[in-house]
Every structure is written in structure tokens, then in C-alpha cells.
């Protein structure tokens, strides 16, 4: 009996219970899951290079068989190199290819003379034996005895899969091939036919797309006439069909989420009253930029509507997002509601708290701080003021979503540096404003991020939010001069810092503690002691790191703000939110260890006053090529959006958001970065469908088809 899409994978030939457990750990439980485990690249095994024809420097695929092999162990450590010599498979021909596999102990005893295999890699001249051609760590796939006639391995364009546990690419290929052979000739194809027919006539496709079954089959096992370069760029018609489907379902979920949000009962804030307008004007310490005025207008218009606001506020470091958020909070407070601002770190929460107190001093609003580091008695008193409603603007970390915190009348939720919080944390804060009674109005939500997000990612991660962008810096800001230097020039760097401090300025020295482990903190403390004693014995040097108690961190930052500390040696705890206009110098040690986004955020701590600022990135004499690209980008531009685009290209979406858990944001074949045009197209189609009342039954049909798996995936983009 042929396998059904919902059948468990353990019943497929070549799987069984043990391998089913391995697959389940990658989220593959049924046949449909397996069919969406797609190749990450392809090899053309219709044409193999002969060893005697290999050109050094080229990448080749060889159908080979083992001549000899052996493991060379080193006296110290567990490292070993497996040396392998192969010849062309088939009739004996002149020429040997030598391969070296570093950490190759796993190959010992596995390769026998005569064993056939496919090798794929770059060939070069052996530097120790110039008469030899070798490959270093080539990709290797063992063939069965009849490999030359095996339809899944040679004589065709072959899919290459990422191994899962003990299941190699070859094993996965055979299992998937078997599953496809037994699959029904037709599969449910839920994409709206009217949409597909319309798209066939667009430049993006210019012709009929394959059916869903054909698209899946041809993505796994492409027809022989398919172009290899097109396949590896994920541009074949079969791949494009699956990419479109994936984006469309995702955007459908976002469109439905936005529709749901707009149908909820929100708070129609009074915005146009003279009293409220005057209160908002009083908050501004300076004349707003045109961008700030525009964005505040967008936020105010949202707050005036009866549906809850769900808006993303983007802006580069120093663009004045916080003051716009405080203006929005003023509208809520003047309407008799509370505002809660949640920040990812205590240092940033304290910074927001101090800013709000300063801005709201004339208005007389009660600003409250809720962080884990508060003494128990102070925390209890703060919670009571929040519950009674005497606290009007509440700033905190995750402490604001603790069970013990009850709001009297929460009307606006502001989430700063949003992608550092989990979906459930944001949801918890929003629900504190809803209360337990059905029909309670939802608070407005404003998400702020100082990490500029390229449009392709904002359409996926924040696609259900309206977006405002502050694309203009306040007047009077002097551009930051950034230069890259090596450790060899550090004495000169320290002298430059000393000269700037002598002019009355302050400086940061960033030490590359990434994990805040005891060992790394010990190294940071040692660097602080060395600099304070040797480089600047007569200057006031302070130390700041994440393992300090809250009151210690607050004390150090307050002394730095007041100028009592002239040079602050710090880990990346000052990455966001810290605002000391007199700090005009930043030195980042081992800058090659940081990502672009983090370097840009760190640099944003200077250049906040009218004096010229200097950022000095220090790296080893020969950083890696990728690290050099990052550092050069930092030296070339201060534009956060350009830096974000480069960062996205270098790291991919998952790492861009600081965690691998997103993968490619949950996609199997689609990539927002690579497939921008299809993403835009799918978004237009999905939103048009949901917003058309005549298509309601079609939308319900699609949602019913999607089932729990896709619906769970939509949660990635939810903000309430």
C-alpha cells in the first residue's frame, strides 16, 4: 500500500523505529514532513571528471575507487589525518588523486580497497609533494557495489541533503526516493487556482508552474535537462513553486493576524484636545525632526482609532526613537491610562527610567522602575503603586511580567529591542492590560528596535505590524570617524584616548566578553587593572560587566554620567540605550569577534553630542576575510540600514536576530534574503485575499488545509 502524507515515517522502507527517532528530533514525523526536507545543493553526476584531466584550482566531481588509505595520528592530542589515494572507477587508467581528511579518525576501517565513491571538492597541488594533485576534506559519498547503475546516486543530477544523526545524505536520498515512488499521482494543491493562473502571465514566472506533486518530485530529483547553476541558486520552476507556496501561507497567517487585531476592541484615545497637544509639546526638549513629526503623526492616528495599535518603530541609533515613544506615552497618560515599557537589560531599563523622569519632571508624572535587582521592600512598594494606578509610566525588564505585577489601567505597551524577547513574554505584558473579563479593551502596542531591519525581514518577522521609520538624525550630531587598526598600534591608541580625556572628554574601552563566563570576566578585569595601572595611572578608570549586582552597575554608570569616571572599561552590557553625550571615544578590542549589528550598536554610544567622536576598531594583524569585510564596512559607513543589509548577507536571518532558533525563520526552501521578489508577490496576493470579503470562504478553506503545523509557525511573527 502506498504511503499517505500523514503516515508516520517509521513505516517507510529504510527508516524503522530507530531512525524515526532521529528524524523526529528534526521535526520530521510524517511522510509530508520528510518530503519538505529539501536538498541544500545539487551535483551533476551525469558528467564526471577524469583524474588525469583535473586542473589545479578547479572544483571537480570524481567517480572513484579506493587504492589505499590509512590514519596518521599525532603524538599529542586526539587529532588525526586520514590519507586516501583513489583512482578513476572502472577500467584501470593512469593517475591517482590524494585526499586528506582532517579529524578523519571516523574513516579508519570504513574504507576498503576497491570501495567506490563520489568525491566532490577543490583540487590543488600538494604543497609538500608538488607532483601530486590532492583534495582537502572533499565531500565524500560511498556507493553500493552497483553504484554505476544506481538511479539515485549517479547518472543524474543528484540532490545533496544535510545529514540527520546517523542518516547520511545517501540514506536520506534513498528513503525520499522510495517515498516519492509510492506517492499518489496527485496531491492536494490548495493554492487558489485564480492566483496561479494570474501569476503564470507575470514576468516572475512567464508560463505554467508545475503541480505541487511535480514541484516536490522535481525539487528532490530534477530532470536531466535542468541547469545545475539554476538549481543551486534555487531558481528552477519547481523550487520557485514551493517557495511561492511557503511565502504565501506565511503571509496569509500574517494577514489573518492583522485582521484579527483590527477587529479587537482597543482604546480610542483622545488625541486632538488642546490639553493633550500641549502636554505632548512640553515633553519635547528640542525641535523635532521632520521624521519624528511624521512618525508621531502615524502613532497618534493609530491611537485615535478604536482598534488596538500594533506598530513597529524603527530608527538608527541616536535617531530619537525614545522621545517619540515618550510622546506616545504622554497621550496615554493624559487619557488616564498607564504605560509600560519593557527593556531587555537592567542597564537599558535604568537608562529609560532616568530619561523618563527627566522628561516628565515638569508634567509631574509618576515614573516607576521594576527590575529584578530592586530590594524586596522597594519592589513590593513599586508593585503597589502600579496596582493602585499612582504609577503612570512603568519601566522594567522581564520583572514587569511577573505574576505579582498587576496594572490598574494599562493602555500602552512599549517593547524596546523587541527581537530579544520571546513571543510569550510580549504576550504576557499585553494581556496584563486586557484583564480577565471578556470584552476588556486591548492596550496599544509599540515595538521599538534600534537594530535597523531590512525590508525583506520586516515583512516576515514583523509582517503583521504597521511600520514607522525615523530616517533622519537630530541636528547638531557630528559624524563619527571610524578607523581600523591592529594590536601592534595599541600604545598609540591609548595615548590618543589620554589626549581626548585631557580635553575634558570621556571614553569607552570595550572588551570582548561574549558569554560573561567567569574565565572571560577574569580576563576583562585583568585588562581593566592593566590599563588603569600602566596606560592611565593618573586617570579615573571604571569597570562594568554583566555579572555585577544591579546596584553596582547603576553606581558605575551614574559616576560615568557625572564625569567622575573618565574612561569606562566595559563588556557589551553598554551595547544599547546608554546615553552620555560627553563620551567621544570608543576603542573596541578584538573587534573581529563581534558581528556588524553589535559593532554598530556599540558605536552608537558615542557621537551623541556636538563634539567630533572617534571609534577605533582593534583587530589582530591578519583577521579572517569575513572579519575584514565586517570591519571595512564599519569604517566605510555609519548608515545603520546599509550595515543591516550587509549583516544579513553575511550571517543570514537566524543569526541576524541573535539566535539560531529561527533558522531561516521557519522556512524549508524559501529565503527572504534570496527570494525578495517572490516574498513581495506572495504578500500582495495573501493580503488581497484576506482583505476581500468575497473571498472569506476561500480563506477558511486554506486555513483548514494548513492545520496546526503552519499555524504554529505563524506564531513567529505574532505580537499579541
pLDDT digits over 301-337, tens only?
999 999 999 998 988 877 888 899 999 999 999 999 9
pLDDT above 90: percentage of residues in the chain: 38
- Find, among 520, 649, 638, 639, the residue nearest to 590 by Cα: 520
65 and 147 in contact (C-beta within 8 Å)?
A: no
Q: Of 579, 607, 637, which closes a domain?
A: 637
C-alpha cell at 692: 476581500
Q: Of 585, 616, 637, which closes a domain?
A: 637
608 and 477 in contact (C-beta within 8 Å)?
A: yes
Same domain, 141 and 54: yes
pLDDT computed for residue 478 by the predictor = 76
pLDDT computed for residue 368 by the predictor = 95
Same domain, 462 and 515: no
Same domain, 455 and 595: no
Question: Is 625 among the domain residues?
Answer: yes
- Cβ atoms < 10 Å from Cβ of 301: 12
Question: Is 578 among the domain residues?
Answer: yes
pLDDT computed for residue 543 by the predictor = 92
Least confident span in 125-134, 316-325, 351-360: 316-325
Same domain, 587 and 439: no
- Find, among 605, 641, 602, the residue nearest to 618 by Cα: 602
- 25/666: higher pLDDT: 25
Provide the residue range defining the domain that includes 96. 47-155
pLDDT computed for residue 644 by the predictor = 81
pLDDT computed for residue 265 by the predictor = 87
In angstroms, the first-to-last Cα distance of the chain is: 45
Sign of CA dihedral 254, 258, 261, 266: positive
Cα radius of gyration (the chain): 30
How large is the greatest C-alpha to C-alpha distance in the chain, in angstroms?
93
In the predicted model, is pLDDT for residue 122 greater than 50?
yes
Same domain, 414 and 280: yes
pLDDT computed for residue 649 by the predictor = 74
- Cβ atoms < 10 Å from Cβ of 127: 8
Name the residue with cell 552620555: 580
C-alpha cell at 107: 574513516
Dihedral through CA 494, CA 499, CA 505, CA 509, nearest 10? 0
Domain total in the chain: 3
pLDDT computed for residue 424 by the predictor = 55
In the predicted model, is pLDDT for residue 426 greater than 60?
no
- DSSP secondary structure letter of residue 255: H
C-alpha cell at 239: 523550487
Q: What is the pTM of this model?
A: 0.72
473 and 317 in contact (C-beta within 8 Å)?
A: no
Q: Taking residues 643-654, what's their average pLDDT?
A: 72
In the predicted model, is pLDDT for residue 694 greater than 50?
yes
Same domain, 558 and 593: yes
Question: Is 218 among the domain residues?
Answer: no
Question: Is 708 among the domain residues?
Answer: no
Residues pairing with 588 in the sheet: 510, 617
- DSSP secondary structure letter of residue 662: G
pLDDT computed for residue 718 by the predictor = 43
Please state, in angstroms and rounded to a whole number, the distance separating the CA atoms of residues 332 and 271. 9
Same domain, 109 and 131: yes
Least confident span in 110-119, 124-133, 186-195, 439-448: 186-195
Inter-residue long-range contacts of 85-88, CB under 8 Å, 24+ positions, other chains counted: 86/51, 86/62, 86/117, 86/119, 87/51, 88/50, 88/51, 88/62, 88/63, 88/64
Phi-psi region of 43 (alpha: psi -120 to 50; beta: other; left: phi over 0): beta
Q: Coil, strand, or helix at residue 585?
A: strand
Question: Is 253 among the domain residues?
Answer: no
pLDDT computed for residue 472 by the predictor = 82
Average pLDDT over all residues of the chain: 84
Please state, in angstroms and rounded to a whole number, the distance separating the CA atoms of residues 486 and 483. 10
Q: How far is CA 360 from the centre of its chain?
A: 35
Question: Is 514 among the domain residues?
Answer: yes
Task: Work out the angle at residue 448's Cα, subtended by the Cα atoms of residues 404 and 402, and round it to the nearest 5 degrees.
Answer: 10
Phi, psi of 123 (to 5 degrees): -100, 140
- 67/523: higher pLDDT: 67
Residues pairing with 123 in the sheet: 135
Same domain, 619 and 521: yes
Same domain, 144 and 97: yes
Same domain, 413 and 447: yes
Burial of residue 712 (number of CB atoms within 10 Å: 0-12, 13-18, 19+): exposed
Question: Is 206 among the domain residues?
Answer: no
Please state, in angstroms and rounded to a whole number, the distance separating the CA atoms of residues 278 and 298. 18
- 262/42: higher pLDDT: 42
Same domain, 393 and 301: yes
Residue 76 pLDDT level (bands cut at 50, 70, 90): low
C-alpha cell at 595: 558581528
Q: Taking residues 507-529, what's their average pLDDT?
A: 76
Please state, in angstroms and rounded to a whole number, the distance separating the CA atoms of residues 470 and 296. 10
CATH number of the domain at 282, please.
3.40.50.300
71 and 82 in contact (C-beta within 8 Å)?
A: yes
Q: Of 155, 179, 206, which closes a domain?
A: 155
pLDDT computed for residue 444 by the predictor = 93
Residues pairing with 182 in the sheet: none
Same domain, 394 and 508: no
Q: Taking residues 449-466, what's their average pLDDT?
A: 75
In the predicted model, is pLDDT for residue 432 greater than 50?
yes
Burial of residue 155 (number of CB atoms within 10 Å: 0-12, 13-18, 19+): middle
Question: Is 351 among the domain residues?
Answer: yes
Helix, strand and coil in the chain, % to nearest 5:
45, 20, 40
59 and 122 in contact (C-beta within 8 Å)?
A: yes
Q: Taking residues 143-169, what's their average pLDDT?
A: 76
Please state, in angstroms and rounded to a whole number, the distance separating the CA atoms of residues 325 and 347. 18
Name the residue with cell 515583512: 459
Listed in sequence order, the residues at least 6 apart from 265 whose beta carbon sits closer than 8 Å to its beta carbon are: 306, 307, 308, 439, 440, 441, 442
In the predicted model, is pLDDT for residue 577 greater than 60?
no
pLDDT above 70: percentage of residues in the chain: 88
Amino acid at each position: 500500500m502506498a504511503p499517505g502524507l500523514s503516515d508516520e515515517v517509521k513505516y517507510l522502507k529504510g527508516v524503522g523505529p530507530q531512525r524515526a527517532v532521529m528524524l523526529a528530533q528534526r521535526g520530521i514525523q510524517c511522510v509530508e514532513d520528510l518530503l519538505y526536507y529539501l536538498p541544500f545543493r545539487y551535483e551533476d553526476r551525469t558528467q564526471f571528471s577524469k583524474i588525469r584531466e583535473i586542473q589545479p584550482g578547479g572544483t571537480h566531481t570524481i567517480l572513484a575507487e579506493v587504492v589505499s588509505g590509512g590514519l596518521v595520528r599525532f603524538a599529542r592530542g586526539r587529532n588525526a589525518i586520514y590519507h586516501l589515494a583513489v583512482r578513476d572507477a572502472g577500467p584501470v587508467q593512469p593517475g591517482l588523486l590524494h585526499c586528506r581528511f582532517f579529524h578523519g579518525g571516523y574513516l579508519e576501517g570504513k574504507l576498503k580497497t576497491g570501495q567506490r565513491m563520489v568525491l566532490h571538492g577543490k583540487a590543488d597541488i600538494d604543497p609538500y609533494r608538488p607532483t601530486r594533485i590532492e583534495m582537502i576534506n572533499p565531500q565524500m559519498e560511498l556507493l553500493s557495489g552497483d553504484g554505476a547503475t544506481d538511479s539515485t546516486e549517479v547518472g543524474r543530477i543528484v540532490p545533496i541533503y544535510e545529514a540527520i544523526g546517523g542518516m547520511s545524505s545517501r540514506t536520506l536520498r534513498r528513503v525520499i526516493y522510495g517515498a516519492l515512488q509510492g506517492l499518489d499521482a496527485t496531491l492536494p494543491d490548495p493554492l487558489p487556482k485564480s492566483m496561479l493562473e494570474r501569476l503564470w502571465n507575470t514576468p516572475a514566472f512567464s508560463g505554467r508552474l508545475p503541480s505541487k506533486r511535480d514541484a516536490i518530485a522535481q525539487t528532490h530529483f530534477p530532470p536531466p535537462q535542468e541547469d545545475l547553476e539554476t538549481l543551486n541558486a534555487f531558481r528552477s520552476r519547481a523550487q520557485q513553486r514551493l517557495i511561492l507556496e511557503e511565502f504565501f501561507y506565511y503571509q496569509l497567517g500574517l494577514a489573518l493576524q492583522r485582521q484579527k487585531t483590527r477587529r479587537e476592541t482597543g482604546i480610542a484615545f483622545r488625541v486632538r484636545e488642546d490639553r493633550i497637544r500641549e502636554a505632548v509639546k512640553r515633553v519635547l526638549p528640542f525641535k523635532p525632526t521632520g521624521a519624528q513629526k511624521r512618525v508621531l503623526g502615524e502613532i497618534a492616528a493609530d491611537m485615535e482609532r478604536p482598534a488596538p495599535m500594533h506598530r513597529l518603530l524603527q530608527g538608527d541609533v541616536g535617531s530619537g526613537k525614545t522621545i517619540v515613544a515618550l510622546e506616545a506615552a504622554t497621550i496615554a497618560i493624559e487619557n488616564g491610562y498607564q504605560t509600560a515599557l519593557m527593556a531587555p537589560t537592567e542597564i537599558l531599563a535604568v537608562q529609560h527610567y532616568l530619561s523618563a523622569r527627566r522628561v516628565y519632571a515638569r508634567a509631574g508624572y509618576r515614573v516607576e522602575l521594576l527590575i529584578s535587582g530592586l530590594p524586596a521592600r522597594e519592589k513590593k512598594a513599586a508593585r503597589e503603586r502600579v496596582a493602585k494606578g499612582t504609577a503612570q509610566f512603568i519601566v522594567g525588564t522581564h520583572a514587569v511580567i511577573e505574576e505579582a505585577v498587576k496594572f490598574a489601567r494599562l493602555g500602552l505597551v512599549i517593547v524596546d529591542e523587541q527581537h530579544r524577547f520571546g513571543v510569550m513574554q510580549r504576550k504576557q505584558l499585553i494581556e496584563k492590560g486586557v484583564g480577565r473579563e471578556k470584552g476588556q479593551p486591548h492596550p496599544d502596542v509599540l515595538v521599538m528596535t534600534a537594530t535597523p531591519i531590512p525590508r525583506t525581514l520586516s515583512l516576515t518577522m514583523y509582517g503583521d505590524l504597521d511600520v514607522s521609520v525615523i530616517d533622519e538624525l537630530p541636528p547638531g550630531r557630528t559624524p563619527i570617524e571610524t578607523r581600523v587598526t591592529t594590536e601592534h598600534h595599541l600604545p598609540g591608541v591609548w595615548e590618543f584616548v589620554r589626549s581626548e580625556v585631557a580635553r575634558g572628554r570621556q571614553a569607552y574601552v570595550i572588551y570582548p566578553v561574549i558569554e560573561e563566563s567567569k574565565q572571560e570576566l577574569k580576563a576583562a578585569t585583568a585588562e581593566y587593572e592593566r590599563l588603569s595601572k600602566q596606560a592611565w595611572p593618573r586617570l579615573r578608570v571604571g569597570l562594568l560587566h554583566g555579572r555585577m549586582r544591579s546596584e553596582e552597575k547603576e553606581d558605575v554608570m551614574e559616576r560615568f554620567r557625572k564625569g567622575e569616571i573618565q574612561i569606562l572599561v566595559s563588556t557589551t552590557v553598554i551595547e544599547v540605550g546608554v546615553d552620555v553625550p560627553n563620551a567621544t571615544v570608543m576603542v573596541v578590542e578584538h573587534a573581529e569577534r563581534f558581528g556588524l549589528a553589535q559593532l554598530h550598536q556599540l558605536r552608537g554610544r558615542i557621537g551623541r553630542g556636538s563634539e567630533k567622536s572617534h571609534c577605533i576598531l582593534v583587530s589582530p594583524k591578519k583577521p579572517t576575510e569575513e572579519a575584514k569585510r565586517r570591519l571595512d564596512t564599519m569604517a566605510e559607513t555609519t548608515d545603520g540600514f546599509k550595515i543591516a543589509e550587509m549583516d544579513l548577507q553575511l550571517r543570514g536571518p537566524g543569526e541576524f536576530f541573535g539566535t539560531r532558533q529561527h533558522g531561516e525563520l521557519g522556512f524549508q526552501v524559501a529565503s527572504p534574503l534570496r527570494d525578495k521578489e517572490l516574498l513581495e508577490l506572495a504578500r500582495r496576493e495573501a493580503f488581497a485575499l484576506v482583505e476581500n470579503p468575497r473571498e472569506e470562504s476561500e480563506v477558511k478553506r486554506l486555513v483548514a488545509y494548513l492545520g496546526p503545523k503552519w499555524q504554529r509557525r505563524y506564531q513567529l511573527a505574532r505580537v499579541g
